[in-house]
Structure 1
Amino acid sequence: MNAIGGTNGLPRRRFVALSGALGAGALLTGVAGSASAATGPAPTPDPCPTGPNPPGGGQSPCPPSGLQGLCGSPTDTDPLWRDVLYCTQGIVPPSGQRPNCLKTTPNHVVLHGLPETQHNYLTLPSCRITGIECPFLVTSNVANYWHEAWENARGGGDVPVQYANIGLGINSRSARRLNQLHIHMAGVQDSTQRRLQALENSGRIATQPSNWGDPQYQAAVTGTQGSGDRTYRILRLGALTQNLFALLNDNVVRRFGLNMADQTLIVVPKMTPVGFARSFYVLNSDPSLHDGTDTCDHLLVYG
């Protein structure tokens, strides 16, 4: 099955119980599997976090045990998942390396990316979720991780990205090397912001999710560091209150018979000289597009 489907009837679950010490392994955070050796004090363990409903999300349960084959098991040894366990439950790996938990909530954890700069952070679910291919992400029960990433990264947020223009992004399964879902919170070039606004002014950006994949709303955007032009499907939203994973699955992946695991997703808040313009450009691409890409790294600025 290419698209994700048939999971909306999943039962609501609270946080999956995690027990037992996990095996040793280096703690990694950042772009494409970079290592992190930052240290910090151990937080108070919280074995069963709960919290208020996020905008556009449900009660933030974790994927049910029946999806562990697709979404990961709480006993997995993925380094980023170990970081989350440390931040949420205080489980220190045998190596003794501890990540710098910049923010810990019932729904998510914020960590440094690498290179460690003031415009390179990660938002990770407190649940065990491998990545964009996890079917639980398109259900109504999942937390709104994109909204939470924006609330962290925006000016005045808890972990603000210190860059003129902000970008949020997630890689496809093949483009990542760490298998705990992580939304990059980084910078984007001024030229990317200008290009998106020019496309909007010329009617080249979809304003309805149902039109997201239409050819007239596909456009080339120049990447960073000479990576050239890549083609993206571009949608504009007035807020991040909807489940972006479900929008992508329903309006692009299933519509064109694609594979959710191959998708990359990037969010660029629209900015004007007076500040945030209260709308977001949502970019998607995959290798099925001419000059498409399966990674957000062409547009985001980390270092």
Structure 2
Amino acid sequence: MVPQILATLHVTFDGRARATAFGLYGTVMSVGSVAGPVLGGVLTQADPYGLGRRSVFLLNVPLGIVTGPARPQVPARVPQRTGPGPRPGGHGPLRARAAADRRRDRRGARCEGAASGSSHLPTPPGGPNPCPPAGLQGLCGSPADTDPLWQDVRYCTQGIVPPSGVRPNCLKTTPNYVVLHGKPETQHNHLLLPSCRITGIECPYLVTSNVANYWHEAWENARRGGDVPVQYPDIGLGINSQAARRLNQLHIHMAGVRDSTQRRLQELEAAGRIAPQPSNWGDVQYRAPVTGTQGSGDRTYRILRLDSLTPNLFALLNVNVVRRFGLDMAGQTLIVVPKMTAAGFAGAFYVLNSDSSLHDGTNTCDHLLVYG
């Protein structure tokens, strides 16, 4: 029954209410584990009505009397989940929010469909809370790990207060991911993190077909009209290599990029210097220097253009760059810059990759993203 109870609490409550519900659940479980054997022993010893050890079931009588009046408050039916994203149903604001999320997802799918010339795109992969199997914990991390970002995720998803006592501001929580403030806290610096334990880009589970499409979700939240929009003229999404990051829970930066970066990428596209398809991503002619934030200088990137973020970017990188050149996935940085014009989003994405094997390469996304 424990998984069903936890799932019910997760769907029914949100934010601080969820933390309170999980806290009360933990208290009841703790008290029950102590009081249960004692009361069971007392009842068995007393042997009322000659029931013997079956007398322990008499405990259900007062519980039924107390909880019976609450039954009309329980929804008669919870709609079944049919795909990734927030669960439908629930009470009041939760139902309204779920409906809004479904409308947003449909709008995003139509937008990407128009950009790619297709009227229908496959649903981004990932089911409810798709996590690496236990056999990959050595590479992807264990749920028992104490990484600070992972502890923040556990607070948002399970209500477990971090040992520091500092409760993060959970900007958005879903079965697949959470969104938190980045540091420094600005209106254009957020983080999207998996709701299950994944240390970073080196986790081999990220290149499988079962993993949630975190890049798609980051764009859907960061774009204008998204749930957690990045308030900056040009948006960038990025992930650091294993060596360049300080915290070990996978996190996609949702931040700004300089207008000069946007112009440079469009100039490269006009000059035929951006790979038109993933299989060309690593070709020499599609490597180009891009100037970073002020004072950081030029860095060399492999640059690809995509019409949507429906494909698994980790898998594309692994197949077309990492394996092709005998590189290490852990050493890669990955940046996504939506193509923007004066009219708004232009229906395409520039996907940049770099590592220390390139001349003037880099293993961090920090040169291009604007946080402060």
When the two structures are superposed, what TM-score results if normalisation uses the length of structure 1?
0.84
Amino acid at match of 1:41: R
**1:51–1:106 contact (8 Å) kept in structure 2:** no
| Other-structure match for 2:239 | 170
Q: Tell me, yes or no, if the aligned pair for 2:152 and 2:162 is still in contact at 8 Å.
A: no
- Name the structure 1 match of 2:252: 183
Deviation at residue 132 of structure 1 after TM alignment: 0.1
Structure 1 unaligned spans of 5+: 1-14, 19-39
Question: Per-residue deviation at 1:248?
Answer: 0.1
Deviation at 1:96, TM superposition (A): 1.9
Partner residue, 1:27: none
In the alignment, the residues of structure 2 paired with residue 58 and residue 96 of structure 1 have an alpha-carbon distance, to the nearest angstrom, of 32
Match of 2:165 among 81, 89, 96: 96
Q: For residue 196 of structure 2, what is the aligned residue in structure 1? A: 127
Percent of residue pairs identical: 80
Q: For 2:18, which of 43, 54, 57 is the aligned residue?
A: 43
Deviation, structure 1 residue 51 = 7.1
Question: Residue 109 in 1 paired to residue 178 in 2?
Answer: yes
Report whether the alignment pairs 1:284 with 2:353.
Answer: yes
Task: Indicate the larger mover: 88-97 or 249-258.
Answer: 88-97
Inter-partner Cα distance in structure 2 for 1:156 and 1:301 = 20
Larger radius of gyration: 2
Structure 1 CA distance for aligned equivalents of residues 238 and 17 of structure 2: 28
Aligned length: 264
Shift of 1:297: 0.2
Is 1:42–1:87's contact at 8 Å kept on the other side of the alignment? Answer: no
CA distance in 1, matches of 2:296, 2:124: 35
2:29: which partner in 1?
none
* Deviation by residue 1:169-219 (Cα, 9 ceiling, x = unmatched): 000000001000000000000000000000000000001100000000000
TM-score by length of 2: 0.69
In the aligned structure 1, how far is the partner of 2:126 from the partner of 2:276? Answer: 25
* Equivalence for 1:57: 125
Q: Distance in 1 between matches of 2:287 and 2:17?
A: 46
RMSD of equivalent CA atoms: 1.8
Give, in whole Å, the separation in 2 of the partners of 1:175 and 1:51: 38
Q: Structure 1 CA distance, aligned partners of 2:314 and 2:134?
A: 21
1:281, 1:244 → 2: CA distance?
A: 12
Residue of structure 2 equivalent to 1:267: 336
For 1:92 and 1:188, locate their aligned partners in 2 and report how far apart those are by CA, in whole Å.
Answer: 34
* CA–CA distance in structure 2, aligned partners of residues 53 and 130 of structure 1: 22
Shift of 1:61: 1.6
**For residue 296 of structure 2, what is the aligned residue in structure 1?**
227
Give, in whole Å, the separation in 2 of the partners of 1:118 and 1:79.
Answer: 22
Q: Secondary structure at the match of 2:253?
A: strand
1:261 is paired with a residue of what secondary structure? helix
In 1, Cα distance between the equivalents of 2:163 and 2:150?
A: 15
Structure 2: unaligned runs, 5 residues or longer: 7-14, 26-80, 86-122
What are the equivalent positions in structure 2 for 1:1-40 lying under 5 Å apart? none
1:296–1:42: structure 2 CA closer, same or farther, 3 Å change rule?
A: farther
Q: How far is 1:81 from its partner?
A: 0.2
| CA contact 1:230–1:293 (8 Å) conserved in 2 | yes
